[in-house]
Structure 1
Amino acid sequence: MADSTGRPAVGIVSDDVLQRHRLQEAVSRFGLSASFSGAPDRLEGYPEIPSADIWLVTLEDEADHPDLLEFLLESTEAPVLFGVASAPKPGTTDYFRWERRLQDKLEKNLGALEQLDSVDSITELERGESTEAPTLSQWVTPAEAGQPAQDIWILGASLGGPAAVKSFLDHLPAGLPVGFIYAQHIDGNFTEVLTRVLGRHAHYKLRHAAVGNKVNNGDVVLLPVEHEWYINDDGSLARKDTPWPGPYGPSIDQVLLNVGDHYGARCNAILFSGMGNDGAIAAPLLKAHGSRVWVQDSASCGNSSMPDSVAATGCTSFIGTPEQLAKELVKTIEESCLLKRRQQRDSA
């Protein structure tokens, strides 16, 4: 029984109020609604149980409710996941791993949960007005195009991401000494459309990842969805023959780990609009390198589950709209350039 949006409905049964609450929050992150959330006794008191496409059952002691499983199996034709593991404390790595396992179980029964942008939603961006980008600050020496970028920013996004990333890039001045690696959950058939649309007004053009290439100043390297990519010891892009781990490619968590392993503190990340929690496991590890982790604010997101999950880890140092994120990046680069000049002057 899908809800009014056409998304599957979930029934939640637990004798622990906290676990019911955490399960309900988790399924809502996947874009699902709970048609029932209550204790076993309450469910068994219904003359006819509520409709649901799947039932999730977690109990402190199954022996306290010996007839529950039989009652559910007799009362519904929907799958019943009995013995769902208890949810750990939200915001922890264990929680996000638990949430991923739950997502995997749900998708095995319901199909793919994460909504992806359609070709229509991406091409709609072409009809938007052009944004006049700011000029480069006098304190920043224009980067030499075609030279490997010393600082890398990973842009991670899913549902609603193309519009957010486009706005971010459109508000950057040309010549910043930085390169971008863009990990977008998207149907692989739409990448050409994405490349054309996002590069229409910005100074920063999308380029497809190519084996052996390096990320240069001004590049926005779009990672393919089919296979996992990483950075070689010499800074060049390399591809594995295996797919990205997890249900969606590119895996933003894996991108953070693979790029962070090479660049260390020179690798930073911004997580934009998206469903689910991709990025929440690896973001704290990236911060441990000394990297910056920023997220798009909830109000400006098409779907805020992904950036909200990363923010819940406590590792983010800035939250803002795409335009504010662009301004903060420019400010950060200006401050870094001024610091280098001061250090050079003091050592002279």
Structure 2
Amino acid sequence: MAGSAGRPAVGIVSDDVLQRHRLQEAVSRFGLNASFSGDPERLEGYPQVPEAEIWLVTLEDEADHPDLFEFLLEHTNVPVLFGVAPAPKPGTTDYFRWERRLQDKLEQNLGTLEQLDSADSLEQLAATEASEAPELPRWVSPAAADQPAQDIWILGASLGGPAAVKAFLDHLPAGLPVGFIYAQHIDGNFTDVLTRVLGRHAHYQLKHASEGITVNNGDVVLLPVEHEWYIASDGRLARKDTPWPGLYGPSIDQVLLNVGDHYGARCNAILFSGMGSDGAIAAPLLKAHGSRIWVQDSASCANSSMPDSIAATGCTSFIGTPEQLARELVKTIEESCLLKRKQQRDSA
């Protein structure tokens, strides 16, 4: 049986109400529906076992339900995952690690779960008109485009991310003293289309990452999905020969760690629309070192699981639509420029 939009349905069995609730919330973030969620007695009382493509079973004491294992094996031919670890408190690092392990187990049995933007959706995005970008604030001097950016903002996204990031970039004035590193879960075959689509109207056009380049003012550097990238000690982009860790590339968690390791508090992040919880482990670590962590608001997301997960950690300092995020960035840069002018005047 499939859930909505042809997605697999999951059966959940637990003798703990809280664990059933947390499992149901987790599978929903993977785009799955629970066809059954209840205790063993309720399941065994069904005249016919509800259809599901996989069963998740977590029990406080398996000895209390000796017949459950045989009951499921007798009444279903789909995979049954017994002994699923109890879910920790949501919003914690342990929870997101538990969620990733659960996702990995599900994908071993069901195949890829995360939905990605298609080539058709990207082409449709290319047809959308951009609104007129605002003027650069008077207190912000136009940044030299050939100079390395002092401040870096990581843009992390998955499903629905290209539309959100395009709206964000379209609402930025030219000349801001900032560079962007863009980590987008996407089919590697579509990166050329993505680069063309997002560069059609914006002042900030995408460029593919290549070894040895620096992230300059106005750059939006798109990280490839195949191999891990980092910032070398000299501030230049470098590639590892190993794939990104985790289920999908680029790993947004690893991007946050790799870029933050070089830039420190000058590395900030905005997490846009997407499934799953990529970024939720590393974002609080950046926040602890003084970085700003912003997320797209749920209502404007194609899928809000990713930004919602990061917001649940308590590390976010601003939540808004792509347009509001753009305005907040301009405001933040303007306030920083004003502060520098004041400090220079006071020290003169």
Deviations 1:93-126 (A, max 9, x none): 0000000000000000000000000000011011
Report the equivalent of 2:222. Answer: 222
Distance in structure 2 (CA, Å) of the matches to 1:141 and 1:156: 27
Q: Deviations over 1:11-65 (max 9, x none)?
A: 0000000000000000000000000000000000111110000000000000000
Give the aligned residue type for 1:15: D
Letter in 2 for 1:223: L
1: distance between equivalents of 2:65 and 2:126?
Answer: 57
Deviating more after overlay: 121-130 vs 8-17: 121-130
CA RMSD of superposed structures (Å) = 0.5
Number of the residue aligned with 1:317? 317
Counterpart-to-counterpart distance in 2, 1:331 and 1:292: 14
SS state of the match for residue 295, structure 1?
strand
Q: Which amino acid aligns with 2:264?
A: G
Task: After superposition, give the CA deviation of every residue in 1:79-106 in whole Å (9 maximum; x if it has no partner).
Answer: 0000000000000000000000000000
Which amino acid in structure 1 is aligned with residue 59 of structure 2?
L
C-alpha distance in 2 between matches for 1:238 and 1:129: 35
Match of residue 206 from structure 2: 206
2: distance between equivalents of 1:122 and 1:94? 35
Question: What is the CA–CA distance in structure 2 between the aligned matches of 1:130 and 1:274, rounded to whole Å?
Answer: 22
1:129 Cα deviation from its structure 2 partner: 1.4
Partner of 2:86: 86
Q: Return the TM-score normalized by structure 1.
A: 1.00
Deviation >2 Å, runs of 4+: none
For 1:144 and 1:289, locate their aligned partners in 2 and report how far apart those are by CA, in whole Å: 28
Q: Match of 1:299, SS?
A: helix
Paired amino acid for 1:161: G
Distance in 1 between residues matched to 2:126 and 2:149, nearest whole Å: 29
Within a 5 Å distance, the mapping from 1:134-153 to structure 2 comes to: 134-153=134-153
1:289 matched residue in structure 2: 289
Give the C-alpha shift of residue 3 in structure 1: 2.0
Would the aligned equivalents of 2:4 and 2:33 in 1 still touch at CA under 8 Å?
A: no
Give me the TM-score of the superposition, normalised by structure 2: 1.00
SS in 2 for 1:174: coil
Task: Indicate the residue corresponding to 2:343 in structure 1.
Answer: 343
Structure 2, unaligned runs of 5 or more: none
Q: 1:139-288 to 2 correspondence within 5 Å?
A: 139-288=139-288
- Are the aligned partners of 2:13 and 2:37 in contact in 1 as well (CA < 8 Å)? yes
The count of corresponding residues between Structure 1 and Structure 2 is 348
CA distance in 2, matches of 1:205, 1:21: 43
Query: What is the one-letter code of the residue matched to 1:206?
Result: L
Equivalent AA in structure 2 for residue 133 of structure 1 = A
Gaps of 5+ in 1: none
Counterpart of 1:207, as a letter, is K
In structure 2, the partner of 1:23 is 23
Counterpart contact for 2:56–2:82, Cα < 8 Å: yes
Cα deviations across residues 256-305 of structure 1 (Å, max 9, x unaligned)?
00000000000000000000000000000010110000000000000000
